[in-house]
Amino acid sequence: AQKVTQAQTEISVVEKEDVTLDCVYETRDTTYYLFWYKQPPSGELVFLIRRNSFDEQNEISGRYSWNFQKSTSSFNFTITASQVVDSAVYFCALSEKGFGNEKLTFGTGTRLTIIP
Amino acid sequence: EPEVTQTPSHQVTQMGQEVILRCVPISNHLYFYWYRQILGQKVEFLVSFYNNEISEKSEIFDDQFSVERPDGSNFTLKIRSTKLEDSAMYFCASRQGANLYGYTFGSGTRLTVV
């Protein structure tokens, strides 16, 4: 069974600091997909990134970067030069390659607070 | 940017009443989902739907729940007799096809059972 662990329940940093959100996953499949979603106080789920298991290249998008390491089953998310608008709950999620019903298994989320 | 649209954004219902949550997935998407998030907790899978039938459902999705795609555009979740513990945010999601591209969530319906 697939599982996602986000050990950091809450993180607070001062604005402009860098912050890394950890995500560790478990799966028996060799083909799987990893996601990060942002949930701001308004409640919606905002897609940030999708990564498949065969693509271990790290990705950078503006102030956001992701480090995917299959050897440690981790998919960590770093925000550089954090801003108050980054305050939200961040969820990591995993989906195994199935036969059309690829559900997402979410971690418990990390609540990030950026202090002005 | 295509969106998944959910209505209503907030619904209050009395315990024991039936409620229908509505979703309009992205038009060229083929796979549809409902997820639930109890306040302060993680997002949990309820059900997936493809080719006009349920492809997988979780333990949460018991006989009180049903889904339908009545007209080729809407995708609904019905709870027949609501309980207090059904109070949660319900998210609809859809995706296009292979490789999980475009796995997009709606903005959610907050259901409050009183």
pLDDT, tens digit (0-9, with 9 covering 90-100), for B17-28: 999 999 999 988
The Cα A35–Cα A49 span in angstroms is 5
Scan residues 49-88 of A and list those with Cβ closer than 8 Å to B: 50, 52
Neighbours of A84 (CB within 10 A): 10
Quick: pLDDT tens for A20-49. Answer: 999 999 999 888 999 999 999 999 999 999
Chain B residues whose C-beta is within 8 A of a chain A C-beta are: 31, 33, 35, 41-45, 48, 50, 55-56, 58, 89, 91, 93, 95, 99-101, 103-108, 110
pLDDT for the residue A56: 84
Burial of residue B24, with CB atoms counted within 10 A of its CB: 0-12 exposed, 13-18 middle, 19 or more buried:
middle
CA distance A30 to A24: 16
Touching check for A106 and chain B: CB below 8 Å? yes
Are B58 and B43 in contact by the 8 Å Cβ rule? The answer is no
pLDDT band at A57 (very low <50, low <70, confident <90, very high): confident
Tell whether A37 lies on the interface with B, counting CB pairs under 8 A. Answer: yes
User: What token pair was written down for A106?
Assistant: 């979410």
B67-97: pLDDT as tens digits? 999 887 899 999 999 999 999 999 999 988 7
Distances (CA, A) of A65 to A23, A59, A62, B16, B48: 13, 6, 8, 47, 30
